């Protein structure tokens, strides 16, 4: 059935709230207000205040309590209103959530999900618009999920809620209203499995989140000029489906990596390194990256649009390989 990206996320949470009494939601304004972007609207009325919990404005408490409750057997889905605020709870994620299962020899699981909106384009300025998905991929023990379609959002979120490890679930603000066909009921997608959003033979574009939509639009324009681009969406950054990426590059011989986070130390650099180390012989041209500039995100609408990677920049990067 047709759902928006936000509705698909809500539907995934509803499925799990009904299935498992240990699942609950917590975060700022997720109950009465329905969430900053309306994603949790209606769930308080349906499941009550013991399952849909409005918290204080304290990100370190939100994440810290989830670590403790999940280690005690509950299944919290907690929301940080903007991914920019993850810096407030780095200790809870990096030194607690990521390490509990390892340090206790598997006797304690941290089966929690941390939902975070990412991305620019709504005029929210430098402290509420970043894409920081690469930041926590450096910490072993954390899973990073970053869906680009409503169906992927639902299937991956249900899988994330059922996982026994801490999962960071990134949702791009620009996609909340994007519609798509979504399977009804209990529907899962395996974590760590990439998806080819568009088959192609001339160049591989590896991209995720909102940039998948921009890359698909760029690929259609390139096709009109005789360049057949394959668009591969890893869907999860950790674990990363390296085999799917290498297989695609082996087919096309060329690689462009597109992401909205800044270029320096962005996760695209990790993908480029993997392909260089494990698939160098497949390449017929240098690897190209299209990313945001290394600057805070401007509030000015014109400058903000210039900051966000565009279809034109993707097309320019692809053409430079031929």
Place of tokens 């649009």: 305
Closest CA to 234 of 252, 223, 247, 225: 247
The DSSP symbol for 252 reads H
Catalytic residue list contains 128: yes
Q: Burial code of 253-270, b = ≥16 C-beta within 10 A, e = fewer?
A: ebbbbbbbbbbeebbbbb
Q: How many CA atoms lie within 13 A of 102 on its CB side?
A: 11
Q: Starting from the edge strand earliest in sequence, which strands make up the sheet with 255-262, in order?
A: 195-198, 229-233, 203-207, 255-262, 288-292
CB atoms within 10 A of CB 61: 16
Catalytic site residue from 65, 128, 172, 259: 128
The DSSP symbol for 40 reads T
Active site residues per annotation: 128
């Amino acid at each position: 059935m047709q759902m928006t990206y936000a509705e698909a996320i809500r539907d995934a949470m509803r499925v799990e709230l009904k299935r498992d009494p240990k699942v609950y939601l917590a975060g700022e304004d997720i109950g009465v207000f329905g969430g900053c972007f309306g994603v949790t609207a209606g769930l308080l009325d349906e499941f009550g205040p013991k399952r849909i919990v409005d918290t204080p404005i304290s990100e370190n408490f939100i994440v810290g309590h989830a670590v403790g409750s999940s280690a005690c057997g509950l299944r919290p889905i907690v929301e940080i209103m903007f991914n920019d605020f993850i810096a407030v709870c780095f200790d809870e994620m990096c030194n607690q959530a990521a390490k509990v299962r390892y340090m206790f020899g598997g006797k304690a699981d941290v089966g929690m999900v941390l939902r975070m909106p990412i991305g620019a384009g709504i005029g929210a300025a430098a402290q509420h618009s970043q894409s920081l998905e690469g930041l926590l991929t450096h910490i072993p023990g954390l899973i990073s999920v970053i869906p680009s379609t409503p169906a992927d959002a639902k299937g991956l979120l249900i899988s994330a809620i059922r996982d026994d490890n801490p999962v960071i679930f990134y949702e791009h603000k620009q996609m909340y209203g994007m519609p798509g066909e979504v399977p009804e009921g209990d529907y899962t997608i395996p974590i760590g499995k990439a998806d080819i959003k568009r088959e192609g033979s001339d160049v591989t574009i590896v991209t995720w989140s909102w940039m998948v939509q921009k890359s698909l639009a760029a690929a259609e324009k390139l096709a009109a000029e005789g360049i057949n681009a394959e668009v591969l969406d890893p869907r999860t950054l950790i674990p990363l489906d390296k085999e799917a990426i290498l297989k695609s590059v082996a087919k096309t011989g060329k690689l462009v990596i597109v992401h909205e986070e800044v270029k320096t130390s962005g996760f695209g650099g990790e993908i480029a390194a993997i392909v260089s180390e494990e698939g160098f012989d497949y390449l017929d041209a240098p690897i190209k990256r299209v990313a945001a500039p290394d600057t805070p995100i401007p509030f000015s609408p014109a400058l903000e649009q210039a900051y966000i990677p565009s279809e034109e920049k993707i097309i320019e990067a692809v053409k430079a390989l031929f």
